Amino acid sequence: MDIQGKTALVTGASRGIGRAIAIELAKQGVKRLLLVARDTARLAEVATEIQMLGVEALTLPLDLSEVVEVNIAIAQAWRDYGPIDLLVNCAGVAHQVPFLKSRLPNVQAEIGVNLIGMYAMTRLVARRMVAQGSGTIVNVSSLMGKVAAPTMATYCATKFAIVGFTQALRCELAAHNIRVIALLPSLTETDMVRDLQWFRWVLPTTPQKVAQALVTGLQRDSPEILIGWQSHLAVWCNRIAPWLLEKILLMAAPVSNNRLLRYYRLTDARAISR
């Protein structure tokens, strides 16, 4: 995709990876950016930074879990600032907890933003892209959308779902000249992971590097964009020897690694004795 002179809408643009993507797209020549997130003040800061690069930036303060409000705002935005050529679904929520201690409200928040929010935004924009006969949609999944990790079960579930959703839409919308891409970052230094316990041996990257990888992937028409050699190695290992990767993940798991091992041994023993 040639992003020169295009209009892009980025969700999760107030901070982290979404913010970096919006700024990188501005640097690489998009004409107009529509920035979506809840935090009005942070969105305004990002918009100012983008305007200083000579690119038009508009803020759309929205909670993606409020589907009716999102419907109205996107219809208005398309009328006033459309057509939108590129949609980047980046907003996301993650909760890290051993599954047996997980709480339904956190799971509902992950599903509400990561899946329902993304679904609602994509449907609104994709229908209009079909009418205009072109467009590109980027769905931000994660390496955890390919390789599931202990303590992140429900987050992984949403990110695996995004990969499946993206593959299905890619086939379905190709006839309408709409490309659908999955971006799969690995550990990236943002607010999201500040309070998480990191997996051992995983090398973090920066939001800027993720944004640059996206722009390169868009230029190359890549259907899936993995970031960093560790991600490629993990996905490859998961294909060739999933049992080995599971062992490594168990050793790398941050939360009570020994307790997890003991827990699994105990449940194995109980299962055998039944």
Ligand X SMILES: NC(=O)c1ccc[n+]([C@@H]2O[C@H](COP(=O)([O-])OP(=O)(O)OC[C@H]3O[C@@H](n4cnc5c(N)ncnc54)[C@H](OP(=O)(O)O)[C@@H]3O)[C@@H](O)[C@H]2O)c1
Binding site for ligand X (CB under 6 A): 12, 14-18, 37-39, 42, 62-65, 90-94, 113, 140, 142, 185, 187-188, 190-193
Q: In this structure, are strands 86-89 and 7-11 parallel, antiparallel, or unpaired?
A: parallel
Based on the residue annotation, tell me whether 155 is a catalytic residue of this protein.
yes
Q: How far apart (Å, rounded) are the C-alpha atoms in residues 187 and 191?
A: 12
Put residue 125 in one of left, alpha, beta given phi > 0 → left and psi -120 to 50 → alpha.
alpha
Collapsing DSSP to helix, strand or coil, 7 comes out as strand
Inter-axis angle of helices 16-27 and 207-220, to 10 degrees? 50
Residue ranges of alpha helices (H) inside the chain are: 16-27, 40-51, 67-81, 104-110, 118-132, 153-173, 191-194, 207-220, 229-240, 242-252, 257-273
Nearer to ligand X, 40 or 267 (CB): 40
Nearer to ligand X, 48 or 177 (CB): 48
Nearer to ligand X, 65 or 122 (CB): 65
CB of 182 to ligand X, least distance (A): 11
27 token code pair = 């640097």
CB of 220 to ligand X, least distance (A): 20
CB of 19 to ligand X, least distance (A): 7
Q: In this structure, are strands 86-89 and 56-61 parallel, antiparallel, or unpaired?
A: unpaired
Nearer to ligand X, 154 or 188 (CB): 188
42 token code pair = 């942070």
- Taking alpha carbons only, the member of 43, 134, 37 closest to residue 84 is 134
CB of 13 to ligand X, least distance (A): 6
Nearer to ligand X, 136 or 142 (CB): 142
Number of other residues whose CB lies within 10 A of the CB of residue 50: 24
CB of 269 to ligand X, least distance (A): 35
CB of 21 to ligand X, least distance (A): 9
Q: 83: cis peptide before it, omega within 30°?
A: yes
**Which residue in 81, 119, 155, 263 is the catalytic one?**
155
DSSP β-bridge partners for residue 72: none
Nearer to ligand X, 91 or 126 (CB): 91
Collapsing DSSP to helix, strand or coil, 120 comes out as helix
Residues classed as catalytic? 155
